[in-house]
Amino acid sequence: MRSVGNSWPGAVEIIADVDGNPVPALAYPPLVGTPCVGDVVLLNTTALDLELGTGGYALVIALPERLPEDAPEPGYLVKARYTPQQVSVPGVDAQESPHHAVLADADSIDGMPVVIADLHSALPAVLAGLRLSLPSARVVYVMSDGGALPIWFSRTVARLREAGWLSAAVTVGQAFGGDVEAVTLHTGLLAARHVLDAEVVVVAQGPGNLGTGTRWGYSGVAAGEAVNAVAALGGRAVASLRISDADPRTRHQGISHHSRTAYGRVALAAADVVVPSLDEPLAGAVEADLAALGGRHRIVRVSTDGMLDALRSAPVALSTMGRSLDEDPGYFLAAGCAGRHAAALLEGGTDPSNR
């Protein structure tokens, strides 16, 4: 290993030497230990071989000559199960957990607003919109397992936590590394409410979503399932639309087919579908695509007044599919307006900027 670079909670960048060539790699010290210059590292180079856009790292599998210390206490749940990197974590809903009794009886999230987004890149924009009127709200991020499994991969989460924009994070399903670990999205939502005292929750997959260009073959289909989970637990689902007039792919222009399928076909319960005020021609394209969501949902129109400035105040650089705020403002405005509407719900009224 040639050098050690930047680090954030749970992750550290390194430069490895592979056949005399420098290779950027990422290590997760909780899994493999802390790498040092001169260490021999065993790498998985799949992301580099496939030229994946998210991350662009090789991943450190092990430091073969120096094994990590044993965990201070055994976990109760196993995640990334039956893979060489499986981890045991102290599940909040496990029988050994001190919170088990609370979650064993918990059956409602008490009308709590839950913003649901397709992509991880929406998270800081949702928070920017929410903070316009409720900067002190206690917000918990619930990360599903459609993208990265270790939450440590997300520098966005680390920076939002550091800036005080996020109070805590829950990892559900096969995802791991959050402040709280849960088996399912349902127990993750209940834990956010009853263990972490969340006032608002944002649900989205981790970085690195998967899509195949087919109607059903993409990891963001889970956004529709999240609407159902929120409804089952007595919450208020707020659907953040994925919209764009900058994406070169026709299926993602206007309202992306990801949102049309997840909310229009997968979600069987009603959500507040937030539609931002936009300029033409994107506004017309979005209006035309709203028909795909049918009569099931509540269409909520939210003003974008002041939203661009709020988005620019985010402690992380906004980027989606390689496009910045200036290159694809509609995408981030939609997420920000979803956050603004969640704040209005939390305040117990209707956002006065709605029209």
What are the extents of the domains in the chain?
Answer: 3-62, 100-346
The conformational region for residue 68 under phi > 0 = left, psi -120 to 50 = alpha, else beta, is beta
Contact indicator for 257, 281 with CB cutoff of 8 Å: no
What one-character-per-residue DSSP string does 262-303 give? IIIII--S--EEEEE---TTHHHHHHHHGGGGTTTSEEEEE-
For the chain, 355 residues long, give each residue's pLDDT as a single digit of tens: 899 999 999 999 999 998 898 999 999 999 999 999 999 999 998 888 887 765 678 999 999 998 877 665 667 899 999 998 899 999 999 999 999 999 999 999 999 999 999 999 999 999 999 999 899 999 999 999 999 999 999 999 999 999 999 999 999 999 999 999 999 999 999 999 999 999 999 999 999 888 888 989 999 999 999 999 999 999 999 999 999 998 888 888 889 989 999 999 999 999 999 999 998 999 999 999 998 886 889 999 999 999 999 999 999 999 998 899 999 999 999 999 999 999 999 998 544 344 3
Q: Give tens-digit pLDDT for 310-319.
A: 999 999 999 9
For CA atoms 294, 300, 301, 306, the dihedral sign is negative
Q: Which residue has the tokens 């073969």?
A: 64
- Residue 204, beta-bridge partner list: 143
Domain 100-346, CATH number (from 3.30.1050, 3.40.50, 2.60.40, 1.20.120)? 3.40.50
pTM: 0.93
d(CA 274, CA 261): 16
Q: Give tens-digit pLDDT for 81-117.
A: 999 889 999 999 999 999 999 999 999 999 999 999 9
